[in-house]
Amino acid sequence: MSETYVENVERRELAGAEVEIFRGGTGPAILLLHGSYGWWGWEPVHERLAQQFTVIAPSHPGFGASTRNLRIDTVDDLAYFYLDLIEELSLATARVVGFGMGGWIAAEMAVRCPQAIDRLVLVGSVGIKISDRETRDIGDPWVLVGDEQQPMFWHDPSSHRVPLPQPGMPEEMLERMLRNGESAMLYGWKPYMHNPKLLQRLHRIKAPTFVVWGDDDRIVSTDYGKAFAGAIPNARFTTIANAGHYPYREQLDAFAKPVAEFLGS
């Protein structure tokens, strides 16, 4: 995992918040929106995509080192926040990649303002409800304690770890993880990590869309991913072998190649 916090970081004021943005590379700009556990610094996926693109990877308000405007307290607010950021960064149209909760935000952006999104990639995204009210669609690692969470995230939890708050963790990383957890629950707690109305609105997405899933995702199943893709006109769906909820961390090579090809097309 990357532990780089100073390099490749800029800060920008927007909507009453100071936003931390990991940024690097050259070429067409791509906006990367993280999941509920946030960015862990300038990560290998940023570095890889920065070989072909200008990577813009903000921390959501309240995550990482980004401050939070108290008027921003829902995913709906975050969708409009990022539509404003696209304008602030003078991106005529945006190539957006959303991971987990970031995919939910990206989908909400695309149904609200279809013309603002040029390409859309959704990776292990949450945000929709596909089953009846008694059936859980989205796994909840937050109910587990410490290392008990790890098997939910990875195909091979013996080789990978989500950094979780624990004694001895570097202070800056500990602060990031605590803020990330608090903010994830603020935005996604009730109803848990979805908008009951989003599924019926996905037909509004006009951008070419690529839906990417780890084939062993234990947070949201591949059936959930197929349902997400099936509700978006002409969306492509693919799985990454031997990957859990974080295919871009667990199988970077297999993830980056098709995603870069799609974003560059």
Query: What are the pLDDT tens digits along the chain (265 aa)?
Result: 444 344 689 999 998 889 999 999 999 999 999 999 999 999 999 999 999 999 999 999 999 999 999 999 999 999 999 999 999 998 877 999 999 999 999 999 999 999 999 999 999 999 999 999 899 999 999 999 888 999 999 999 999 999 988 888 899 889 999 999 999 999 999 999 999 999 999 999 999 999 999 999 999 999 999 999 999 999 999 999 999 999 999 999 999 999 999 999 8
Domain residues for the domain of 75 are 9-264
Residue 1 domain-assigned? no
Residue 181 domain-assigned? yes
Interatomic CA distance for residues 4 and 39, integer angstroms: 11
Residue 4 domain-assigned? no
Interatomic CA distance for residues 249 and 264, integer angstroms: 21
pLDDT number for residue 265: 85
pLDDT number for residue 87: 93
Interatomic CA distance for residues 179 and 183, integer angstroms: 6
Beta strands 209-214 and 236-240, pairing class: parallel
Question: Domains in the chain: how many in total?
Answer: 1
The strand ranges marked E within 129-232 are 209-214
Residue 17 domain-assigned? yes
Per the CB < 8 A criterion, the answer to whether 152 and 139 are in contact is yes
pLDDT number for residue 129: 98
| Contacts of residue 161, Cβ cutoff 8 Å, sequence gap at least 6 | 1, 150
CATH number at 207 reads 3.40.50.1820
pLDDT number for residue 92: 76
Tokens (6 digits) for 140? 């909840």
